[in-house]
C-alpha cells in the first residue's frame, strides 16, 4: 500500500478545477511514485509497431495497489474517477497484435521480468468510428486532447534517424509499465521537417499506394533505427566496441515482420560504425533476434519492392541483399535444391520478403497458438522447417487478468476472493478449484454486469438492450475470414424461423457487434452496412423484437471491450478453421464466464481442451476438412440444395435491404456466388458452416432455459482460464525464447 501516495491524494485540492485538470494533476501526482528501474543484466526488448494500451489511469492505480482507496479518497472530494472514462484510449494499434503487445508488457512487469517495449508514438491513433446511415464514418483519433500524463518526454535522449532524402529526429517518450517491476515502453516521436513529422502522424497508413508504401517503410525503419541505435550506443558505453557480449545481454523480439529492418540496421551499424565484420555481425544477430508470426494470410506477409526500399534506404537494401548471398552459400552447403532456396530466399527477384529474413536470422520463430504454429511449419515455412527444425516454437497467446478481470469485472473478482481467498490473484491456477455447481452468486454477478453493459450502451449508442436476454457478442476487427457475415445470415435464419412460428419457447436474445473496418476495405464496410440494415429490420419488427435484437456498437475499443466481455453470456468466435492465428478476445470472454460458440480454429481449440467441449458450443468444418474442401467446394451447389441458406443469401440482392446504391450488397453476393479475380466463390466457406452455426445457436437457446446448468458451463470456463493468462505466455517466452529471469 503506497501510504505516501494516498496521503498526497488526501491533500489534493480538487476544488474549482475542471475534470481534465483533475485527471492530469492526479495522474501526475501518481507518476511521482513510479520510477522505472534500470536493472543490470540480460533484458528482453519487444519491438512492435503497434501497442493498443487502452486507458492507463485505472490500470496504473490498480498496479500501484491504491485503486480502491484512491477511489474513496477522491470521491469524498467530489472527484468521481469513473468520469475519467471519457479519456481517449491510447489506441496506437489496430487490434490483435497491438493489444497482445500491451498485455505482454503488463504481464512482464506484473511478474517482474525485465522486458521493455519499443514503438512509435503516433499523433493520431486508430480512427474513431461513427455510423452514418448504417455506414462506417471515420474521424481522426486525437488521443492527446487530454494530454498524456503517463508518459515522460526524454529530450536529452533524442537521436537522429537518416534516410537518403531526409533526417528525422526521434524523441523518446517513456511510459512506465507498472507491476512488481517497473519496466518501460519507449515510444519514439518524429520531429524535424514537415515530411519528417508525417512519419508518426497516422497508424498503419493505407499502403495500397506507392506513397502509402513509402511511408510504411519509413515508419518501420524509424522504429528500427531509433531502437537499435540506442541499444548499441548504450552497450558500447558499457562493454566496448567488440559487441562480443551483445547477445548475452539482449534478446530482441520482432512482433510480426514490422520491425524486421532492425536486423538489417543492426548489421549496418556494427559493420559501418564499429568495424565488425559482416559475418560476425550476422552471427551476433542470429543469436539476438527472434520472430513471432501472427498471421498466415498471404496478403499480410510483408514484401517490399527492392527498388522502392533502395530509393530511401540504400544501405539497408544492400544489407538484405548481402544477407541473401550469405544465406544462399549456407543453403548450398546444405545441398538445398533450387526450389528450396527460392522458397527460403530473403530476396526473391525484386521482392524482399521480410518474413523469410525474420525466419533466417531469427534464433527462434514462434506461432501464437498450437494449431497456428503447426500451420506456420507446414504451410508457411515448410522448407525452413525442414532445414532448421529447432528454430520453430509455439507460445500460445494470453491476456492480462489484471485489466481483463480484476479491473473490468470487480464483482466477479470479489466473488472469486470469497470462494478462493484472494490468493488466486497471485496464483491463477487456484481457479481450477472453483466449485462450479454453486452458481447462484455467479448468476447475480453476470446479471449485474449485463445491467452495467446495458447502461453503457444506452449512454454511448442510445440503444436500450432487451431485458433479461441472452447476450451474444461478436466483437473484433471486421474481416471476411472472421465471418461476421455468417453471423448476419444466422440471425436472419432465426428471424425468419421466429416469424414463421418454427421456434417455440425461444428465449429472448441480443446479438452485439463491435467492429472497425480498415478504411480502404470496401467489402468489410459492406458487411457493417448489411448488419446495420438487419438490425433496423429485426429491431423494428413488433412480431419478433421482444425476442430478438441486434445491436452494433460504435467505436468499439479497449474500454468498450472491458464492458462487453464482462456482460456477455456467449462469445462468438466463428472464423474459418485455419485462418485465425489465435484470437485473444476469445480468452477474455472465457475468463469472465462466457461460453464459446465457435469453430475449432486458433486458440479456440485450446480453450475447448481446457474448459471442455461439453461446456461450449463447437460447430463447423475442421482445418483438415477445409484444406480438403479447397479444390472441390461448390457454394452454388449448397444454394441449390438448401432453401434456408439460399433465402438469407438472397436478401443481399432481392430488395429486402438497400445499401443506398453503394453496390456493397451486390458485391457481397458476388463474392459468395461468383467469386472475384483473386478468390473463388465463398472462399471462407460460409455456406458450408452456416447450418451447423444456426443449430449451435438454437442449442444455446434451449440450454439457457436451465439457468443453473448454463451458469455452471459458464463458470467452468472461468475455472479453466488460467492457462490463457499472459503471465503464462510471458513465462514461456522467458524460458523458451528470451532466457531471462524474474527479478
Ligand atoms: C483483421 C485482419 C488482420 C489480420 C492480421 C489485421 C492485421 C493483421 C496483422 C498483420 C497481424 C495480426 O494482428 N494478427 C493477429 O494477431 C493476434 C495476436 O497474436 C492473433 O490473436 C490474431 O488471431 C491475429 O489475426
The DSSP secondary structure of 661-708, one letter per residue, reads: TSSHHHHHHHHHHT-BTTB-TTTT-HHHHHHHHHHHHHHHHHHHTSHH
Active site residue 292: no
Whole-number Å distance between alpha carbons of 163 and 27: 37
Ranking 74-88, 354-368, 373-387, 664-678 by mean pLDDT, the lowest is 74-88
Active site residue 743: no
Ranking 203-212, 466-475, 594-603 by mean pLDDT, the lowest is 203-212
Residues 98-118: what's their mean pLDDT?
A: 97
Residue pair 228/159 in contact by the 8 Å Cβ criterion: no
Q: Return the DSSP state at 180.
A: S
Residues 651-674: what's their mean pLDDT?
A: 97
Active site residue 584: yes
Q: Is the pLDDT of residue 533 over 70?
A: yes
Whole-number Å distance between alpha carbons of 198 and 196: 5
In this structure, what C-alpha cell is assigned to residue 606?
485450446
Q: What are the φ/ψ torsions at residue 585 (nearest 5 degrees)?
A: -60, -35
Which protein residue's CA is at the shortest distance from atom 17 of ligand 1? 96
Q: What is the share, in percent, of the chain residues with pLDDT greater than 70?
A: 99
pLDDT confidence of residue 719: 98
Which amino acids bring their CB within 6 angstroms of ligand 1? 94, 96-97, 100, 256, 294-295, 297, 300, 368, 397, 477, 479, 580-584, 602
Query: Nearest 5 degrees, angle CA 133-CA 134-CA 135?
Result: 95
Whole-number Å distance between alpha carbons of 613 and 599: 11
Q: What is the share, in percent, of the chain residues with pLDDT greater than 90?
A: 92
Give residue 301's pLDDT band: very low, low, confident or very high (50, 70, 90): confident
Q: What are the φ/ψ torsions at residue 40 (nearest 5 degrees)?
A: -70, 175
Indicate the average pLDDT of the chain. 96
Residues 657-667: what's their mean pLDDT?
A: 97
Q: Which residues, 6 or more positions from 544, have their beta carbon under 8 angstroms from its beta carbon?
A: 495, 498, 499, 538
Ligand 1 pocket mutation pick from 294, 298, 478, 587 by most atoms within 8 angstroms of CB: 294
pLDDT confidence of residue 407: 95
Cα 700 to middle of ligand 1, angstroms: 28
Report which ligand 1 atom has the smallest distance to the Cα of 98: 13
Give residue 207's pLDDT band: very low, low, confident or very high (50, 70, 90): low
Residue pair 135/155 in contact by the 8 Å Cβ criterion: no
Ranking 105-109, 163-167, 301-305, 533-537 by mean pLDDT, the lowest is 301-305
Whole-number Å distance between alpha carbons of 727 and 725: 5
Residue pair 217/304 in contact by the 8 Å Cβ criterion: yes
Query: Nearest 5 degrees, angle CA 511-CA 516-CA 518?
Result: 145
The DSSP secondary structure of 22-43, one letter per residue, reads: HHHHHHHHHHTT-------S-E
pLDDT confidence of residue 184: 97
pLDDT confidence of residue 16: 92
Cα 610 to middle of ligand 1, angstroms: 23
Marked catalytic residue, from 268, 482, 563, 728:
482
Residue pair 189/121 in contact by the 8 Å Cβ criterion: yes
Cα 256 to middle of ligand 1, angstroms: 9
> What beta strand segments (E) does 278-437 contain?
289-292, 303-305, 347-348, 351-353, 365-367, 392-394
Q: What is the pLDDT of residues 352-365, one digit of tens each?
A: 999 999 999 999 99
CA-closest candidate to residue 578, choices 450, 685, 494, 726: 685
Residues 221-230: what's their mean pLDDT?
A: 98
Q: Which position has the grid cell 474549482?
A: 16
Q: Are strands 125-132 and 135-141 parallel, antiparallel or unpaired?
A: antiparallel
Q: Is the pLDDT of residue 89 over 90?
A: no
Neighbours of 704 (CB within 10 A): 20
pLDDT confidence of residue 147: 85
Ligand 1 pocket mutation pick from 52, 97, 300, 365 by most atoms within 8 angstroms of CB: 97
Report which ligand 1 atom has the smallest distance to the Cα of 50: 13
Q: What is the pLDDT of residues 131-173, one digit of tens each?
A: 999 999 999 998 888 889 999 999 999 999 999 999 999 999 9
pLDDT confidence of residue 1: 64
Marked catalytic residue, from 476, 610, 683, 688:
476
What number of H helices and E strands is found in the chain?
31, 23
Active site residue 294: yes
pLDDT confidence of residue 39: 77
Give residue 209's pLDDT band: very low, low, confident or very high (50, 70, 90): confident
Active site residue 482: yes
Marked catalytic residue, from 216, 477, 516, 563:
477
Residue pair 113/730 in contact by the 8 Å Cβ criterion: yes
Please tell me whether residue 208 adopts helix, strand or coil conformation. coil
Amino acid at each position: 500500500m503506497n501510504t505516501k501516495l494516498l496521503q498526497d491524494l488526501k491533500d489534493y485540492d480538487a476544488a474549482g478545477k475542471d475534470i481534465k485538470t483533475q485527471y492530469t494533476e492526479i495522474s501526475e501526482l501518481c507518476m511521482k511514485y513510479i520510477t522505472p528501474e534500470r536493472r543490470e543484466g540480460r533484458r528482453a526488448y519487444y519491438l512492435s509497431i503497434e501497442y493498443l494500451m487502452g486507458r492507463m489511469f485505472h490500470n496504473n492505480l490498480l498496479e500501484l495497489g491504491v485503486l480502491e482507496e484512491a477511489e474513496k479518497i477522491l470521491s469524498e472530494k467530489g472527484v468521481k474517477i469513473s468520469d475519467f472514462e471519457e479519456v481517449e484510449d491510447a489506441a496506437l494499434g489496430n487490434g490483435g497484435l497491438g493489444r497482445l503487445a500491451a498485455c505482454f508488457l503488463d504481464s512482464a512487469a506484473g511478474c517482474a521480468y525485465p522486458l521493455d517495449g519499443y514503438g512509435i508514438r503516433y499523433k493520431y491513433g486508430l480512427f474513431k468510428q461513427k455510423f452514418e446511415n448504417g455506414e462506417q464514418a471515420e474521424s481522426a483519433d486525437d488521443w492527446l486532447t487530454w494530454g498524456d500524463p503517463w508518459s515522460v518526454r526524454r529530450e536529452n535522449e533524442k537521436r537522429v534517424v537518416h534516410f537518403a532524402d531526409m533526417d528525422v529526429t526521434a524523441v523518446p517518450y517513456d511510459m512506465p509499465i507498472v507491476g512488481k517491476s517497473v519496466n518501460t515502453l519507449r515510444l519514439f516521436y518524429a520531429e524535424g521537417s514537415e515530411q519528417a513529422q508525417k512519419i508518426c502522424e497516422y497508424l498503419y497508413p493505407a499502403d495500397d499506394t506507392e506513397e502509402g508504401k513509402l511511408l510504411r517503410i519509413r515508419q518501420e525503419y524509424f522504429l528500427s533505427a531509433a531502437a537499435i541505435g540506442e541499444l548499441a550506443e548504450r552497450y558500447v558505453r558499457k562493454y566496448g566496441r567488440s559487441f562480443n557480449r551483445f547477445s548475452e545481454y539482449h534478446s530482441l523480439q520482432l512482433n510480426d515482420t514490422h520491425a524486421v529492418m532492425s536486423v538489417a540496421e543492426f548489421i549496418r551499424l556494427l559493420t559501418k560504425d564499429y568495424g565488425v565484420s559482416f559475418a560476425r555481425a550476422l552471427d551476433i544477430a542470429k543469436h539476438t533476434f527472434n520472430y513471432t508470426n501472427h498471421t498466415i494470410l498471404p496478403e499480410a506477409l510483408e514484401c517490399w519492392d527492392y527498388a522502392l526500399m533502395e530509393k530511401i534506404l540504400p544501405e539497408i537494401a544492400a544489407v538484405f541483399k548481402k544477407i541473401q548471398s550469405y544465406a544462399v552459400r549456407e543453403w548450398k552447403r546444405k545441398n538445398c535444391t533450387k526450389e528450396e532456396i527460392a522458397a527460403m530466399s530473403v530476396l526473391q527477384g525484386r521482392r524482399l520478403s521480410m518474413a523469410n529474413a525474420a525466419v533466417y536470422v531469427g534464433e527462434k520463430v514462434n506461432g501464437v497458438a498450437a494449431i497456428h504454429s503447426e500451420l506456420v511449419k507446414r504451410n508457411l515455412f515448410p522448407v525452413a522447417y525442414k532445414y532448421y527444425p529447432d528454430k520453430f516454437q509455439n507460445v500460445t497467446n494470453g491476456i492480462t487478468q489484471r485489466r481483463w478481470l480484476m479491473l473490468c469485472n470487480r464483482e466477479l473478482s470479489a466473488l472469486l476472493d470469497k470462494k478462493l481467498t484472494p490468493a488466486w490473484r497471485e496464483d491463477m491456477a487456484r481457479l481450477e478449484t472453483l466449485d462450479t455447481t454453486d452458481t447462484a452468486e455467479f448468476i447475480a454477478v453476470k446479471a449485474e454486469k449485463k445491467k452495467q453493459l446495458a447502461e453503457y450502451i444506452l449512454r454511448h449508442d442510445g440503444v436500450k438492450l432487451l431485458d433479461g436476454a441472452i447476450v451474444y457478442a461478436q466483437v473484433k476487427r471486421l474481416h471476411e475470414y472472421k465471418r461476421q457475415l455468417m453471423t448476419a445470415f444466422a440471425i436472419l435464419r432465426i428471424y425468419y424461423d421466429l416469424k414463421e412460428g418454427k421456434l417455440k419457447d425461444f428465449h429472448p436474445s441480443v446479438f452485439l457487434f463491435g467492429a472497425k473496418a480498415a478504411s480502404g476495405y470496401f467489402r468489410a464496410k459492406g458487411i457493417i452496412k448489411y448488419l446495420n440494415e438487419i438490425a433496423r429490420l429485426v429491431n423494428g419488427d413488433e412480431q419478433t423484437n421482444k425476442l430478438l435484437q441486434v445491436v452494433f456498437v460504435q467505436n468499439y475499443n479497449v474500454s468498450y471491450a472491458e464492458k462487453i466481455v464482462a456482460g456477455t453470456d456467449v462469445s462468438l468466435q466463428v472464423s474459418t478453421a485455419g485462418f485465425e492465428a489465435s484470437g485473444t478476445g476469445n480468452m477474455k470472454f472465457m475468463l469472465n464466464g462466457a461460453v464459446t460458440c465457435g469453430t475449432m480454429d486458433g486458440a479456440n481449440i485450446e480453450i475447448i481442451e481446457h474448459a471442455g467441449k461439453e461446456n461450449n458450443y463447437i460447430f463447423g468444418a475442421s482445418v483438415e476438412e477445409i484444406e480438403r474442401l479447397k479444390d472441390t467446394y461448390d457454394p452454388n451447389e449448397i444454394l441449390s440444395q438448401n432453401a434456408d441458406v439460399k433465402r438469407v443469401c438472397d436478401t443481399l440482392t432481392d430488395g429486402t435491404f438497400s445499401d443506398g446504391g453503394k453496390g456493397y450488397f451486390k458485391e457481397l453476393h458476388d463474392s459468395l456466388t461468383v467469386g472475384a479475380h483473386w478468390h473463388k466463390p465463398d472462399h471462407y466457406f460460409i455456406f458450408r458452416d452456416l447450418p451447423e452455426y444456426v443449430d449451435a445457436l438454437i442449442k444455446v437457446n434451449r440450454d439457457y432455459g436451465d439457468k443453473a446448468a448454463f451458469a455452471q458451463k459458464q463458470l467452468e470456463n472461468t475455472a479453466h482460464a488460467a492457462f490463457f493468462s499472459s503471465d503464462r505466455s510471458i513465462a514461456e517466452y522467458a524460458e523458451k525464447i528470451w532466457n531471462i529471469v524474474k527479478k
